[in-house]
């Protein structure tokens, strides 16, 4: 499954276009390498999402085979490894 679609389905990013913009800006990496929105996501991948005041790292636990998913199942697609909030001085 494409990275932008995974981020949308998992609800880590609210919209697919926003996920694509994050990738284009270099704010998302998979296994330590900056990733394009078309990058294929696999079970076991570590995804790091950088936002203005936060950096979240998640491990992919499940890649769905459907393009729609209930909110209840969205949280089971990943495990949060770290979630760091930066102070205002650093952002």
Average pLDDT over residues 62-90: 85
- pLDDT digits 0-9 by tens, 9-25: 999 999 999 999 999 99
The pTM of this model reads 0.87
Residue 74 sits in a domain of what CATH number?
3.10.290.10
Residue 89 is predicted with a pLDDT of 57
What's the domain range around 42?
A: 3-85
Residue 80 covered by a domain: yes
Using alpha carbons, select from 41, 24, 38, 48 the residue that is nearest to residue 77.
Answer: 41
Order of all β-strands in the sheet with 46-50: 33-34, 28-30, 46-50, 54-60, 78-85
9 phi and psi, to 5 degrees? -65, -35
Residue 79 covered by a domain: yes
Residue 4 is predicted with a pLDDT of 94
- pLDDT digits 0-9 by tens, 31-65: 999 999 999 999 999 999 998 889 999 999 999 88
Residue 91 covered by a domain: no
Provide the domain count of the chain.
1
């Amino acid at each position: 499954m494409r990275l932008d679609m995974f981020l949308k389905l998992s609800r880590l990013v609210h919209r697919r276009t926003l996920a694509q913009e994050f990738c284009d800006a270099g704010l998302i990496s998979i296994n330590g390498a900056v990733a394009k929105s078309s990058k294929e996501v696999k079970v076991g991948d570590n995804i790091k999402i950088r936002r203005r005041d936060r950096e979240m790292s998640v491990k992919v636990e499940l890649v769905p085979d459907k393009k729609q998913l209930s909110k209840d199942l969205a949280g089971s697609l990943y495990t949060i490894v770290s979630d760091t909030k930066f102070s205002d001085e650093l952002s």
